[in-house]
Structure 1
């Protein structure tokens, strides 16, 4: 062994052999020495040199105050003190390398096993650090992309809201135009009916004010109400034989129900369902609700408005001349259909419609939910008669 305890080989041979620097190998070698020093085959000089390397790596050059006081007869203490003094100004890294080389020489396989375990631990630690770094970089990229997407979504949402606002305005404009046309048509009906007061008088013998709606046990509804609004109608008059005239043509009673009903939509489902004039009923799944509306004077039309909650519904209207039957019957004649069945998006828009009768009778409003096997439908409706 040379004066400084180092061999002539490279000062850091453990990096090539074990993938560990001397700084990393020294704690492993020191732990192995403390664990197995009673079982290692060390000479007296090896023990003194290991002690000297340890003190040099821990405190640096020889410091008398760090060396234990030994008497003349303390041969071991004096020898270890001299070994530390002989290291002189050896650097701490060189002292650690000397300690590791001496442990490799004296412990052999135990040192090799400890170094390989430390190498595996280092590799696993570095792998965990790489994984953690990649995960941090991935999260950073995702956050950047999320911020970018949020900015794009805000722009798209703003554009979508603008489109919806334009659509609402267009619907409101169309609805206003329809109301103006209906108002003008209604004023035209009043003028056409003026020359035939006798016919109107014969058909107006029954009072027009009746009681409010009531439900029946069979799931049907009969609706009677006072005049609240106006609607377009055909110019009609009555003849003495029970027929009805349209213009200059006479229409027999059998063809009265063929006149199609008017139907349109308007926005404002939420406001409509919250209004006090609406009644609420439920149509069970795979079932149909019928609402009967008697008309006892030709000077009135029937109007309907309805909306549903969350889902659509199929809707149709029939007109039957004559008196409302005492017993509720659900057998209907397609020939009396004035509005063909159709599925309407009544959960998105309020469905409105009207029809002008040409002789006394009653209407049947069909709310058909037979196509839905899972969901019942909640309907808010308002049916009324008006001149």
Structure 2
């Protein structure tokens, strides 16, 4: 039967209307599901179940017909019949509308559909696929390309799932670490408040007395100054605590905040309980000496006013510390005092500063100044190192384990006897050319304070020192 080109086009449009096209990217090979015999054979041969393979065949026909696929009228009728069998099942004339007298294509299509008889939906789908494969060999390559594409998408999906699992685990670990850090920060903040409260209780009387001297008629300004001194004292104390060498280690070891939170728990507990921090375990022979409490250190910005006041006071409060020299100001404890205060500044350059306490009975209450060359300091350091390595019990050798070392009295060294000495403030270089450095220390007992102004590290520059020392009750 001859059919013109218009009728062929009508068949193509009918085939497109009865086709159900789905996105190939959404197809998945569901190996976990229970497959029918037809699906198993289809998966084994093509890599797809019958339903997905049929959708691929419809997609291929729609895209390639007229381009890579050229079918005859009879072949198109058969393919349309297969699609009708898949969508509506076997032909039932009672359910079909009557055709017009001139609808030749409709009658041909129904004849082809009726010829399929009771063919099942799966068989109709397979018949469509097989017929298309016979008519166009390129269909095999099309299915293989889609198979590889599906496998690649499945692989990417699996990789994405694995990545999400790893990412979820990483986020969970980060959250756990963040919680631990927050807990540790909260613990350190709690300890910091405890330490600062203990230090404030210890120094409040001293700072209040100093603030009353600076601002006699201004309680508000006194309170501001006291808070500033307390904050500076806390930071200075923590700095000295972090720089203190660890036990059983002769080399310097700067501790981190974490080390401080663990290794110094005993020191913190002792500070919170009695307001003091022991430098080391006291030996039986040095128990007669009271433990040295930490000094209070702070700074002030009124350096110009301080220097002008020192110049007006006159006396020996202005000293020129030569290059390579160390000036030691010996301040005996006073019977009417309980606490020593000091203040100092320089003109243009920094200066080393430290405080020591000599456990010797003061012969007078006069303050004296002693100057020593760097060579003398080097020899004293060598002798102190030898004394630290010696673990004897002779107090004249400075063997106490509470931070005391043996030194000579006065400005020189004595070969006969040395009074034991405790370190109150280690010698560090201070930027005293920029601000006034001040501090205080409660008397640990009767003895002599040694305020050391160290310029031994400077080979060329001399420093002009302005200082003031006094005691309070």
TM-score of the superposed pair, with normalisation by structure 1? 0.47
Structure showing greater Rg:
1
Return the structure number with greater strand share. Answer: 1
Return the structure number with greater helix share. Answer: 2
